[in-house]
Amino acid sequence: MPAGSPAAPPAGRLAAYYFCHFATLGGMLPFLPLFFAARGFTPVQVGQLLAVFLCTKLVAPNVWGLLADRRGRLIGLVRGGSLLAAIGFAGLLVEGGFWWTAAIIAVFSFFWNAALPLFEGVTLRHLGRDVGRYSRIRLWGSIGFLLVAAGYGPLLSRYSAAALPALLLPLFIAIWLCSLLVPEPAAAAGGEEGDRATLWPVLRQPMVIGYFAMLFLTHLSHGAYYGFFSLYLETLGYGRGIIGAFWAVGVLAEVVLFLAMPRLLRYATPRTLMLGALALTALRWGLTATLAAEPAVLVPVQMLHAASFGICHALGMHYLYGFFPGALQGRGQGLYSSLSFGAGGSVGALVSGYLWGWQGGSAAFLAAMAFALGALLVAACTLPETSRRALPEGWTRIA
């Protein structure tokens, strides 16, 4: 390497962390509701427990993001959060009632939900101007999710959903071990001036308000999917192995999308892609509500996960990179996580749980369709038009 040239980002080690983190999520999202049901909790209680899991995203990422911006160092916080998350999750090995389970969920998820936004900041700092490589690194998280979602279904069919904590704990430990291998990235540009940077001038912009409203509604619509899709399919007669396969189909489509994202951005602006993705998201939930009993329909519907999550997340990171530069990156990541996955996901899980208890699974997904249409309307009115030439360097270049 020539003297003075920047160090190459540790892509393999970054990818390994994403792989383990989302492998863990691949065990929790499809099967945690089944685990709660196996312990005797009602659909409303399942929604409440999932809301606890997601509500920690409202607080933890912002607290840790502010701390990271003030310290200027991220990876140490990621390591500490990953270790404490593993220790906390071990509490689920002990069977208890609703309040015990809720307390364990709150403790481990506080640290687990804080670690990923910080690690996203680590990745973006390592990539620097070559942010276009993000999707190629992040896709390994999708691969980890896919493998566990597809593989754990048959295991839980054989040994019961009560075995889930024992199967997931080694993955939590692996997350911590991977974090030890990732070096601290160079500090964000800005120096002392960046340390004094405040969020208010950014947050008061109408386009930023619209951006976060769009994220909230998008993840509100996903509450039914992340909280009740597996239970919904069980009521339609699908086995757990097939349920895991349906989750895997969605994530496989997401992997393909991450690979194709640089090419897509050559032919369409981020705003155009986002509006198309939100329209497909609404279509996805409508078809899930009405035609999920037909496997031939559900397979292509699950492939729309490439749009509802893949495009929305990749472009969400693109806009975040532009709205929150330099020393604001940690707090921007915290807001992204708390207002989308946290606020949107937790409210979505609660609403879906009550709708499930009142009118059944179809009602929950019809409400999800309405929320996605709301996100589409907000995006159409507020999301800025961005030319391909205005994208950060690297977004239109295949790594």
Domains of the chain, CATH where assigned: 11-187+201-386 (1.20.1250.20)
pLDDT at 92: 93
Higher pLDDT pick, 224 / 333: 224
pLDDT at residue 329, as a whole number = 66
Lowest mean pLDDT among 17-31, 288-302, 317-331: 317-331
Tokens, residue 204: 């008061």
Task: Average the pLDDT over each of 289-298, 353-362, 386-395 and give the range with the smallest value.
Answer: 386-395
Q: What is the pLDDT at residue 246? A: 92
C-alpha 12: how far from chain center: 20
> What is the model's pLDDT at position 398?
25
Distances (CA, A) of 232 to 33, 48, 50, 277: 10, 17, 15, 24
3-state secondary structure of 272: helix
**Least confident residue range of 37-51, 92-106, 278-292, 378-392:** 378-392
In tens, the pLDDT along 380-396 reads 998 877 544 344 443 33
Confidence of residue 71 (pLDDT cuts 50, 70, 90): low
Q: 180-213: per-residue pLDDT in tens?
A: 999 887 765 444 444 445 777 778 788 889 999 9
Q: Positive or negative, the Cα torsion across 76, 82, 88, 94?
A: negative
Tokens of 20: 């383990």
Apex CA 148: angle with CA 178 and CA 161, to 5°? Answer: 115
Q: How far apart are CA 259 and CA 264, in angstroms?
A: 10
Of 18, 253, 30, 303, the C-alpha closest to 152 is: 30
Q: Identify the residue with better confidence: 387 or 113.
A: 113
pLDDT score recorded for residue 106: 92
**What is d(CA 332, CA 148) in angstroms, rounded to the nearest whole number?**
30
Lowest mean pLDDT: which of 56-60, 85-89, 104-108, 173-177?
Answer: 56-60
The radius of gyration of the chain from alpha carbons, rounded to an integer in Å, stands at 20
pLDDT value, residue 67: 73
Read off the pLDDT of residues 163-173 as tens digits, 9 standing for 90 and up. Answer: 899 999 999 99
Select from 110, 108, 107 the least CA-distant residue to 59.
110
Distances (CA, A) of 86 to 79, 90, 107, 346: 11, 6, 10, 22
pLDDT in tens, 298-346: 999 999 999 998 899 888 877 887 777 666 766 777 778 777 877 888 8
